[in-house]
Structure 1
Amino acid sequence: MSNPTSMICPGCGTLINTDEKRCPHCGAYNPNLWGLGPALNRLFGGRIDVLTLIPTACIALYAISLLLDLGAALSMGGGLFGMLSPGNIPLLVLGMTHGEAPWWTVLTATYLHGSLLHILFNVLWIRQLGPDVGHFFGPARYFIIYTVAGAIGFILSNLISGYPTVGASGAIFGLFAAIIVYGRNHKTQMMSLMTRQMWQWAIMLFVLGFLMSGVNNWAHLGGFIGGWITAQILVSSSEYREGRITILIALLCLLLTVLGFVLSILEYFPLLLS
Structure 2
Amino acid sequence: MESKIDDAEGGRYLADHASDFYLIGVLASINIAVLLFEIATPVKNSEFALFSIPSVYGAKVNNLILTGEWWRLVTPMFLHSGIFHISLSSWVLFTFGLEVSQEYGSFTCLLIYLLGGISGNLISFLHTSSPTVGGTGPVFALIGAWLIYQVQNKDFIARESSERMFRKGIIFTALSFVVSSFGPIDDWAHFAAAFTGVAYGYVTCPSLQVKDASSETCQEDGMTLIRQYAGPCKSLVYFSIFMLLLSSLLFIIEPPLDLI
TM-score by length of 2: 0.63
Q: 1:110 to 1:243 in 2, by over 3 A?
A: same
Aligned to 1:110: 77
What stretches of structure 1 of length at least 5 have no aligned partner? 1-43, 73-84, 253-274
- Aligned 1:71-220 pairs, distance under 5 A: 87-93=51-57, 95-100=58-63, 101=65, 102-188=69-155, 190-211=157-178, 212-214=181-183, 215-220=185-190
TM-score by length of 1: 0.60
Moved more, 134-143 or 110-119: 110-119
Aligned to 1:24: none
Aligned to 2:19: 46
Contact 2:115 2:239 (8 Å CA) reproduced: no
Aligned to 1:245: 233
The answer to whether structure 1 residue 65 and structure 2 residue 34 are counterparts is no
1:52 is paired with a residue whose SS is helix
Contact 2:20 2:101 (8 Å CA) reproduced: no
Contact 2:96 2:143 (8 Å CA) reproduced: yes
Q: 1:55 aligns with which of 25, 28, 53?
A: 28
Deviation >6 Å, runs of 4+: 249-252
Q: 1:94-124: CA deviations, max 9, x gaps?
A: x211333233222211111121222122112
The answer to whether structure 1 residue 231 and structure 2 residue 201 are counterparts is yes
Contact 2:38 2:55 (8 Å CA) reproduced: yes
Q: Report how many aligned residue pairs link the two structures.
A: 196
What stretches of structure 2 of length at least 5 have no aligned partner? 1-16, 209-226, 241-260
The answer to whether structure 1 residue 221 and structure 2 residue 188 are counterparts is no
Contact 2:116 2:197 (8 Å CA) reproduced: yes
1:49 is paired with a residue whose SS is helix
Contact 2:73 2:122 (8 Å CA) reproduced: yes
Moved more, 241-250 or 137-146: 241-250
How far did residue 57 of structure 1 move?
Answer: 0.6
2:228 is paired with a residue whose SS is coil
